[in-house]
Amino acid sequence: MKKEDAELEDISLSNILRSITYWPRIFRLLWETHKGYLLIIAAINILQGLTPVVALLATTELINSVAKSHQQGTFEAIGWAFGVYVVLGLFSQCLVLIENYLNPLFEKLLTNRINILIMEKSIQLSLAAFEDSDIQDQLQRARQETSYRPYQIFSSIFTLGTSLITLFSTVALIVSWNAWVAALLILIPVSSFFSFLRLGKEEFILSYKRAPRQREAWYLGFLLTKDSTFKEIKLFQLGSYLKARYEKLFQGFYEEDKKLIRKRSLISLFFEIFYQVMLGAVILLILWTAYVGQLLVGNVVGMIQATNLTHGTSQGIVQGILSLCNHNLYMKNLFAYLDLEGKRSTLLPSSSLEFDASTIETVEFRHVTFQYPGRDVPALQDISFTLSRGETIAIVGKNGSGKTTLLKLMTQLYDDFQGEILINGISIRKLDIEELRKRIGVVFQDFVHYEMDTRHNIGFGDIDSIDQDDELLQAANQAGIREMVEGLPQQLETRLGLWFEEGHQLSGGQWQRIAIARAFMRKADLYILDEPSSYLDPEAEKDVFDKFYNLVKGKLGIFITHRYSSVSFADKIIVMDEGKIVEQGSHRKLIKEDGIYAGLYHLQASSFVMNEDENDA
């Protein structure tokens, strides 16, 4: 049985009711959002719970006063009752106005609070977690509810409290006339409770199972609206096909929802008919009691209003409890995501974390093996090498040989490995990873295009220096793009990309150099470049590597490339194949050994010569 199916089987009616155990955590969340707003709204709801009953009594007294004044021939008898009625109406409206002012503000703060919590958790998670489809589904379930579920819970809790106060007051009033009628009016809504509770379970299970398909629907929409995918979709004529797939997913969602809506409507219709029959019987009883002289006209009106109010309030309470149970199930998704295990370094006691804050002197891999979850074959097997200050290592090999995975271990994006990775002779497992990362500048193959201004695109490499123009321009100069940056319409303040207004689009090579400048912005001891020239022409490539070798003098440098023209200047070359180091040494040494590296180097060199001969011919 799948883990998902087991979780859904556990959603029994009793477990739904036990979801009330989330209430303390929800209340803490509400309290942390804004204490003042919460207390004022709570006080308003208590007063609003009493207002309907007081209004009912005032109406009853007002009508009876009219009858008495008619009998006595004077208008003075209704003065007091009328005054109370008017003041109560004004007071009630003031409460509504205050609540209508505070509720939207609190809703915005609460939604923002939830979004911040999700962001904070996402920051803590490892790369392996983000690459896990189950966790992506959890994130989808958490995010899809943040726009309204937390506020709905907040609203439902206070509505429930208001309704309970109103119910107790009206029931006390009706009991003074007929206790059996009061019991009957409460019993009708309660009888619908379990039917709607089962329906709520069905709705939650449907939403839970739908998460992967909803992610796919979002992704299809993303493909059709993202500038980076536009060219291929246009040229391969994929628009209609992708739109049709999206529409098919939506149609499936629509049919599922329609079945549940139909079922809810039929259940509601059945209980509403039952209620109207019972209500008619109760009103007949009230009228009969008045007919035999046991109730005044005002009391008749009051009892009919109390009857409607009791039923409506008790029905509202049942629906409120159902709503809370339903919302709590969805909040379980949110809390499940927020409770995911965070990054490794935060789990270690602070006393166990070490890091020499001065410099990184050496990096050593000692018999390191790493296997991706769910894979049968390790991505890295028995990797051993050492890099010392002042050295540069080039890592080469076929696609899928483990080169980028090795860098992700070095930067601790993955931490579940066998063997040892040592920094200055200290196990990386004992280091404060955040402090270590401050000493590393990285450009990954799939670098980010930040749709923000140039200042942020470069300054993200060292966020503390983002306002230092001299340092930003120096990093741009080291990446060979200072002239380009200074030539932009607003220089460092120019927004890059086309997602937002007044954006300036760059070429692929310019974006890559921006990413390199971002890495060079970091005051690092170790610089890592993963395919830093994949978008660059030969001249630009040579310029980047010349600047890279100059930057890492007296430091540590690692780069991955498929272009062997830039490799020969590295102090050491590591050749990888199928997750293993098959050769390592200097360019001269590896050429002399005439192994895999020499073969690949000569193959690439001969292709250049062949192209030149063909051009000459």
- pLDDT, tens digit (0-9, with 9 covering 90-100), for 148-170: 676 677 777 777 777 777 777 77
**Averaged pLDDT for residues 412-427:** 86
**Averaged pLDDT for residues 179-194:** 71
* pLDDT over 70 (residue 449): yes
Q: Identify which of 4-8, 133-137, 392-396, 544-548 has the greatest average pLDDT.
A: 392-396
Hunting for tokens 């500048």 — which residue is that?
441
Cα dihedral value 422, 428, 431, 436, nearest 10: 80
* pLDDT over 60 (residue 183): yes
Whole-number pLDDT of residue 407: 86
* pLDDT over 80 (residue 67): no
Cα dihedral value 129, 132, 138, 144, nearest 10: 100
Q: Which CATH superfamily is domain 447-523 in?
A: P-loop containing nucleotide triphosphate hydrolases (3.40.50.300)
Least confident range of 15-24, 34-43, 444-453: 15-24
Whole-number pLDDT of residue 351: 40
- pLDDT, tens digit (0-9, with 9 covering 90-100), for 211-253: 788 888 888 887 787 766 765 676 667 778 888 888 989 888 8
Whole-number pLDDT of residue 72: 54
Place 610 in a pLDDT band, splitting at 50, 70 and 90.
very low
Whole-number pLDDT of residue 329: 65
Place 367 in a pLDDT band, splitting at 50, 70 and 90.
very high
CATH class in words for 358-439+526-534+548-612: alpha beta
User: Could you give the residue ranges of the DSSP H alpha helices within 375-468?
Assistant: 403-410, 433-437, 454-459
Comma-separated ranges of CATH 1.20.1560.10 domains in the chain: 18-338
**CATH 3.40.50.150 is held by the domain 18-338:** no
Least confident range of 139-148, 480-489, 490-499, 594-603: 139-148
* pLDDT over 70 (residue 297): no
**Comparing C-alpha atoms, which of 112, 98, 97, 120 is closest to residue 36?**
98
Whole-number pLDDT of residue 227: 63
For the CA atoms of the chain, what is the radius of gyration? 35
Comma-separated ranges of CATH 3.40.50.300 domains in the chain: 358-439+526-534+548-612, 447-523
Decide: 301 and 286 in contact? Cβ < 8 Å: no
Who's near 458: CB < 8 A, 6+ residues apart?
Answer: 472, 475, 476, 485, 492, 514, 517, 518, 521
Average pLDDT for the chain: 77
Beta bridge partners of residue 572, listed in sequence order: 393
**Averaged pLDDT for residues 77-101:** 78
Decide: 364 and 422 in contact? Cβ < 8 Å: yes
Decide: 511 and 468 in contact? Cβ < 8 Å: no
Query: Would you put residue 549 in left (φ > 0), alpha (ψ -120 to 50) or beta?
Result: alpha
Cα dihedral value 349, 351, 353, 354, nearest 10: 180
